[in-house]
Structure 1
Amino acid sequence: MHIKHLNLVNFKNIDQAEIEFSQGINCLVGHNGAGKTNVLDALYYLSFCKSYFNSVDSQNIRHDEEFFVVQGQYLRNDENEQIYCGLKRSQKKHFKRNKKEYGKLAEHIGFLPLVMITPSDEQLINDGSELRRKYMDGVISQYDRAYLDDLLRYNRALVQRNATLKQMRESGKRDTSMLSLWDEQLSKLAHSIYEKRAAFLKELVPVFQKYYAYISEGKEEIAIEYRSHLHDGTLVDQLKEVWQKDVIVGYTSKGIHKDDLEMQLSGFPIKKMASQGQKKTFLIALKLAQYEFIHRHNGLKPILLLDDIFDKLDDARSNQLLKLVSEDLFNQIFITHTKESYVLDIVKQTGKAYKIIGVEGGQVKDLEEVK
């Protein structure tokens, strides 16, 4: 699977662009703020129906314009696929496959698998547990539609249970029958989600450790530990134990919405002790493991987006990463960088077909292509 052509109108700082891509490596070069990452974000939009960086769709419309259009032409399983996303201010977003609009955006997730690695991924290490849960959910949802459905249902039931708790706190009445109803629903959905998260991590972590060891040349030991209330038994029993506490605070204090991943380097939290290079290596290895995992389960090779990926990596780790992406496991790759000469050296080492694309001030132009 690969994207052949991208059409952008009023997307972020890009007024209009028509871009043809190589099936191998595509390098977008230009100064910081030129719009290179915006091109990658457009590709992410076409896979996930949203921006990687900004969840408010209208804020991705070019300044002083009224709409944006992102449209891509793909070759998937030897079939041509046209994906369209358009948005007008204050109106509903339209998302279409081959000119037919999706009933639900969730129906599209996983159709065009994609993995993006970007400097902002460091938030996965440094910020709160919500981002790490979103990471798990984003990967599993790409190949398991039932998981995404259960997750959406769980979140809706959680909203209802929290609303019941607040009503009970404000009224002083204890409607335990209603709480029991939500507890049963949450518990059933939570155990299905928990089991799939646990199975996902059991398969992912060894692959992640393999990639980290390769890039770092075995210099450090890393681990990821899954933390969940469901390690301690059924959720329905745990929810009953915290009824009084939950009424007082007005929200549900137990459940898979509190799950977390403990990321470790040499037995210590990576957030507290790792260098910038070690953190970046950790995240690259994690995303490459995600790539391999999706390929195993989906059967398609995801598109790989590497945004400013070589910054903060020493030469040894950069060279190891280059060897990895040169392998047949990886198909279409996008790389951004500020220096054309640097990326030329990179792509020539891989032996893959490549294209160099210049981006300046939101304008996009072809610079060089080798097939």
Structure 2
Amino acid sequence: MYLQQLSVINFKNYTEAELTFSEGVNVFTGNNGAGKTNLLDAIHYLSLCKSYFNPIDTQQIKQGTDFFIINGTFNKNGANEAIACGVKRNQKKQFKRNKKDYQRLADHIGLFPLVMVSPYDISIIIEGSEERRRFIDNVISQTDNRYLDELINYNKVLINRNALLKRIADTGRYDPELLSVFDEQLIASGNLVFEKRKDFMESFTPIFNKHYQFLSGDAEQVELVYESQLLRDNFPELLKKSTEKDRILERTTIGIHKDELQFAIHGMPMKKFGSQGQQKSFLIALKLAQYSFLYQQKGFKPLLLLDDIFDKLDDNRVTKLMQMVSNHDFGQVFITDTNADKVENIFKRINVDLKLFKVTGGEIDG
């Protein structure tokens, strides 16, 4: 699978642009703020129906205009697939595949899988557990539609259960029957999400370890550990034991919304003890493992988007990374960087062709 063409109208800093891509490596170069990353985000929209950086669709509309349109043509198994996304102020987002509207955007997720690596990903390491759960959910959702449905359902029930706990605290009227109904719904969806996450991590962790060791040249020992309350006891029993605590705190303290991923280097937390280069290598290994997992599950190669990733990596790791993503295990790659000469020299050293686009203030030459 690869993206043949992309066109945007009134998207971020672009009035209009149309690009035709190579099946291999495509590079966007230009100064900071020129719009390189915006092109990656447009591709992300086509694959996952949303921006990678900002959940509010209308904030992607070019200033002074009322709508944006993104169109793309994918080649998948030799057949062309036309994907279109349109957002107009005060109207529902439109998303079409081969000119047909989707009933649910969730039905599109996973058809054109994609992995993005960005400086913003540092939040996976330094921010709270929600970021790490989001990473897991993003990977599994691209391979399993039912997972996404159950996760959405779980979160809806969780909101309702928390609202009930608050109402009980405010009114003093305990409603064990309604609480029991919410518990049953929470358990049904939560158990399925937990099992999927557990199975995913068992498959994913060895892949991650392989990629990190390659990037670091076996110089560092890292760990990736999945933690869940449901690993220690069954969900119904845990909920039962936590009822009084939940009533006091007015929120649900047990469940898969408390799951965590622990990152370590040489037995110490990566967040505190990893250097900037080590943290970046860790993130890149996570994303490349995501790519490998999606490839295994889907049977074809996802798109790989690398946004400004050379900063804070030494030359050895940069060369290893580019060797890795340019070999036969990877398909179409999109890269942004401020230095065109540097990128061209990197790929010249490893004897890989690329298509170069020079971006200047929302204008593209290439």
Moved over 3 A (4+): 349-353
Aligned counterpart, 2:104: 104
**What is the distance in 2 between the residues matched to 1:227 and 1:14?**
43
Alignment length, in residue pairs? Answer: 366
Question: % of aligned pairs identical?
Answer: 48
Counterparts of 1:178 and 1:73, CA distance in 2 = 49
Task: Answer yes or no: is the 8 Å Cα contact 1:30–1:338 preserved in 2.
Answer: yes
Corresponding residue for residue 212 of structure 2:
212
Equivalent position of 1:369 in the other structure: none
Matches within 5 A, 1:225-244: 225-244=225-244
Give distance in 1, aligned partners of 2:322 and 2:51: 27
Partner of 1:258: 258
| Partner SS, residue 46 of structure 1 | helix
Aligned counterpart, 1:183: 183
Q: Within 2, Cα distance between the matches of 1:350 and 1:286?
A: 23
1:22-76 deviation per Cα after TM superposition (whole angstroms, max 9, x unaligned): 1110000000010000000000111110000000111011111100011101101
Residue 151 of structure 1 aligns to a residue whose secondary structure is helix
Report the secondary structure of 2:305's partner residue.
strand
Q: Give the 5 Å matches for 1:132-143.
A: 132-143=132-143
Secondary structure of 2:33's aligned partner: coil
Query: Residues of 2 paired with 1:330 and 1:294: CA distance?
Result: 11
Shift of residue 352, structure 1, vs aligned partner: 3.7
* Residue matched to 1:283: 283
Distance 1:94 1:184 in 2: 35
Equivalent residue, structure 2, for 1:39: 39
> Residues 123-138 of structure 1 correspond to what in structure 2 (within 5 A)?
123-138=123-138
Residue type matched to 1:14 in 2?
Answer: Y
Structure 1 counterpart of 2:151: 151
SS at match of 1:163: helix
Give me the whole-angstrom Cα distance separating, in 1, the residues matched to 2:59 and 2:206: 39
Amino acid at match of 1:103: Q
Q: 1:293 is matched with which residue?
A: 293
- Structure 1 stretch displaced more, 282-291 or 229-238: 229-238
Q: Structure 2 stretches of 5 or more lacking a match? A: none
Letter in 1 for 2:16: Q
Deviates more, 1:350-359 or 1:162-171: 350-359
Q: Which residue of structure 2 aligns with residue 335 of structure 1?
A: 335
Cα shift readout 1:320-343 (whole Å, capped 9, x = no counterpart): 112211210111001111111111
CA displacement at 1:350 relative to structure 2: 4.0
Partner Cα distance (2:30, 2:174) in 1: 62
Aligned partners of 1:82 and 1:97 also within 8 Å: yes
What corresponds to 1:222 in structure 2? 222
Given that 1:162 and 1:252 are in contact with CA atoms closer than 8 Å, whether structure 2 keeps it comes out as yes
The alpha-carbon deviation at position 351 of structure 1 amounts to 3.5
SS at match of 1:252: coil
C-alpha distance 209-141 of structure 1, shift in aligned 2 (>3 A): same
Q: Match of 2:164? A: 164
Aligned to 1:73: 73
Distance (whole Å) between structure 1 residues aligned to residue 285 and residue 167 of structure 2: 46
Where structure 1 has 5 or more consecutive residues not aligned to the other structure, the ranges are 367-371
SS of the counterpart of 1:27? strand
Give the whole-Å Cα distance in 1 for the aligned partners of 2:354 and 2:75: 17
Aligned to 2:345: 345
CA apart distance, 1:248: 2.2
Retained in 2: the 8 A contact 1:23–1:353? no
Q: TM-score, normalised by structure 1?
A: 0.97
The 3-state SS of whatever aligns with 1:189 is helix
